[in-house]
Amino acid sequence: MRKVLGKVLFYAFISIVAFLVIVPFLWMIGTSFKAREATYTIPIRWIPERPSLEAYQAIFSLTNVNFLRATANSFFLSFIMTVFPLLSSAMAAYAFAKIEFRAKRILFPLFLATMMIPAAVLMVPNYVLLNTLGLLNTYTGLLLPSLCSAFAIFFIRQFMMSVDNAYSEAALMDGASWLRIFFSVMMPLTRPALMTMGLFNFMGAWNNFMWPLVVLYNRDKWTLQLALGNMGNQFGNFNHYLMAGALVSLVPIVIVYLVSQKYVEQGLAIGGLKA
């Protein structure tokens, strides 16, 4: 009896919390369908008086920036900023975790130390560097600083250290090269860590605003966040446009999160070892 009561209370509680969290999103969806009316009202108007797609039509027909193009740019950049750092960090993590070399004791703390520097501090030197190299207003310049990540190295290394050496030793005895061991044995085994870091990288890359703002001048190269931010400046009172834009930018990231969540929850492949 007590157990049932406990369960009911627990579910009631988390339902209330979940509802409170969802409420702003519900308002956002409702507002994005409003048209010629006040968006902030008392009492709150959840369902628009005259629902219309005006906001969505407006954001896809902006003159100053092509919203679809900005979305495509964001996808392209986020993809590269997810895959590249993962690859380079995983390789470095493998070296730090499994390979013995003399400089390891010095190099690894050095790598970790770079994590202490906040991104805002790095922005100015990076900008000056790009300017000298003539890489401003290019995607190369935008991507360069994010191509490797000390945090990812640290995270994946921890995971790799928990993978039994027996796997790689077995592969070595079968005549595999280091690279073969890395791609065929270690990567699949560290998939949960890779998926988690991939998700972080994607979210960071998708939401990045400040760095693209100072690096990219051409409207054609703009990312989705820049387009949204610019809309925010111009359409201050047209909240339905802003909500529509925000919703559109939310959809991809929710999809990515849902997809990778499956992998992150996947258990470790511990089985297969002979005692």
Partner 1 sequence: MKQSRTVVVGIVLVTMLLLAAGPSAVFAGGAGERAAVSTGPVELVYNNFSAGETNAKVLNDMLDLFRQKYPNIKVTNDAMGYGDAYWTQLTTRIAGGNAPDAFEVNMENFIPYVTRDVMLPLDEYYAAAGAKSGIYSKAVLDACTYQGKLYAVPQSFSTVVMIYNKNLFDRAGIAYPTENWKWADAVAAGQKITALGEDIWGTFNPIQFWEFYKVVQQNGGSLLSADRKHFTINSPQNLETLQYMVDRIRKYKVMPDKVAQADRTESDLFVEGRLAMWLNGVWSFSELQKRAPADLRWGAEVEPGNTAKATHFFANVAAVSRTAKHPKEAFTLLHFLASDPQVVALRLKAQWELPTVSDPKLVETYINATPPDNKKSVFRSLEYVVRPPALKQFNELANLVTTKLEAARDGTLSPKEALDQAQAEAERTIKLE
Query: Which residues bind to partner 1, rule: CB under 8 A?
Result: 36-42, 62-64, 127-128, 131, 133-138, 140-141, 177-180, 213-214, 217-219, 226, 229-238
Give the helix ranges, DSSP H, for the chain: 2-32, 54-59, 67-98, 104-114, 119-133, 139-143, 150-161, 165-173, 178-181, 187-189, 191-207, 210-215, 224-234, 239-265
C-alpha–C-alpha distance, residues 30 and 49, integer Å: 10
- Phi and psi at 108, nearest 5°, equal -65, -45
In this structure, the dihedral spanned by the alpha carbons of residues 110, 115, 119 and 120, taken in order and rounded to 10 degrees, is -80
C-alpha–C-alpha distance, residues 4 and 172, integer Å: 55
Pick the closer one to partner 1 by CB: 229 or 252. Answer: 229
Q: How far is the CB of 206 from partner 1 (least distance, A)?
A: 18
Q: Which residues contact 167 (CB under 8 A, 6 or more apart)?
A: 185, 186, 189
- Phi and psi at 115, nearest 5°, equal -70, -20
Q: How far is the CB of 271 from partner 1 (least distance, A)?
A: 29
Q: How far is the CB of 128 from partner 1 (least distance, A)?
A: 7
Pick the closer one to partner 1 by CB: 27 or 200. Answer: 27
Pick the closer one to partner 1 by CB: 144 or 264. Answer: 144
Pick the closer one to partner 1 by CB: 7 or 180. Answer: 180
Residue recorded with tokens 């969290």 = 21
Q: How far is the CB of 166 from partner 1 (least distance, A)?
A: 22
Q: How far is the CB of 127 from partner 1 (least distance, A)?
A: 6
C-alpha–C-alpha distance, residues 196 and 261, integer Å: 8
Pick the closer one to partner 1 by CB: 203 or 213. Answer: 213
Q: How far is the CB of 176 from partner 1 (least distance, A)?
A: 10
C-alpha–C-alpha distance, residues 93 and 88, integer Å: 9
**CA–CA distance from 273 to each of 163, 166, 175, 177 (Å)?**
11, 8, 19, 22
Pick the closer one to partner 1 by CB: 142 or 199. Answer: 142
Pick the closer one to partner 1 by CB: 71 or 196. Answer: 71
Q: How far is the CB of 55 from partner 1 (least distance, A)?
A: 12
